[in-house]
Amino acid sequence: MIGFWDVYERSQNGPFIKEPEFDRQVGVVAGELVQKHGIRFDPEQVIPADDGLADRVYQAATELFLQLGIYCRDTSRLIKFRAEELQWALKHAPTTVTYGQGPDTRVMRHRKVEASLPPFCLNTPVGCTVAEERFVAMVQSYAQEPLSDTFSSAFSQTVGGRPIKSGTPQEVEAAIWNVVKLREAARAAGRPLIGIHNLISNAEKTDATLAAIQEEFGAHPNDGLGVAAIAEMKADYERMKKVVFLDHKGYNRYGLYGPIMGGYAGGPEATAIVHVAHHFLGLLAFGAQWHDGFPLHLMQGCNSTRDLLWLISVTGQALSRNTHLLIGVSPFTAAGPCTEMVVQEIAAIVLAATVSGLHLNLVAVARNKLPERSSGMEARIGAETGHLIARQRISRKKANEIVKKILGEYESQIPEAPQGKRFDECYDLKTVRPTQEYVDLYDRCKENLSKFGLEYED
State pLDDT tens for residues 138-150: 999 999 999 999 9
Under a CB-based contact definition with an 8 Å cutoff, are residues 328 and 293 in contact?
A: yes
When pLDDT is averaged across residues 348-376 and rounded to a whole number, the result is 97
Q: Nearest to residue 59, comparing CAs of 28, 85, 38? A: 38
Q: How far apart are CA 56 and CA 354, in angstroms?
A: 21
| CA dist., res. 156 & res. 128, Å (int) | 8
Q: What is the pLDDT of residues 287-343, one digit of tens each?
A: 999 999 999 999 999 999 999 999 999 999 999 999 999 999 999 999 999 999 999
pLDDT at residue number 21: 98
Give the whole-angstrom CA distance, residue 458 versus residue 167. Answer: 50
Residue 121, pLDDT > 80, answer: yes
The confidence band for 204, taking pLDDT boundaries of 50, 70 and 90, is confident
Is the model's pTM score more than 0.95?
A: yes
Query: Which fold does the domain 96-452 belong to in CATH?
Result: TIM Barrel (3.20.20)
Q: Per-residue pLDDT averaged across 174-199, rounded? A: 97
User: Is 371 a residue whose pLDDT tops 80?
Assistant: yes
Q: Average model confidence (pLDDT) for the chain?
A: 96
Residue among 149, 16, 143, 162 nearest 75 (CA):
16
What's the rounded mean pLDDT across residues 253-267?
Answer: 96
pLDDT for residue 250 is more than 90: no
Query: In this model, does residue 231 exceed pLDDT 70?
Result: yes
pLDDT band, residue 458 (cuts 50/70/90): low
- The string over 94-125, giving b where at least 16 C-beta atoms fall within 10 Å of a residue's C-beta and e elsewhere, is beebebbbeebebebebbebbbeebbbbbbbb
Report the pLDDT value the prediction gives residue 157, as an integer from 0 to 100: 84
Range 184-192 average pLDDT: 98
Q: Which of 339, 273, 343, 272 lies closest to 308, judged by CA?
A: 272
pLDDT at position 203 is 84
Residue 409's pLDDT is: 97
- Would you put residue 152 in left (φ > 0), alpha (ψ -120 to 50) or beta? beta
Nearest by Cα to 312 from 350, 344, 283 = 350
| pLDDT at residue 69, rounded to an integer | 98
35 contact partners, CB below 8 Å, separation of at least 6? none
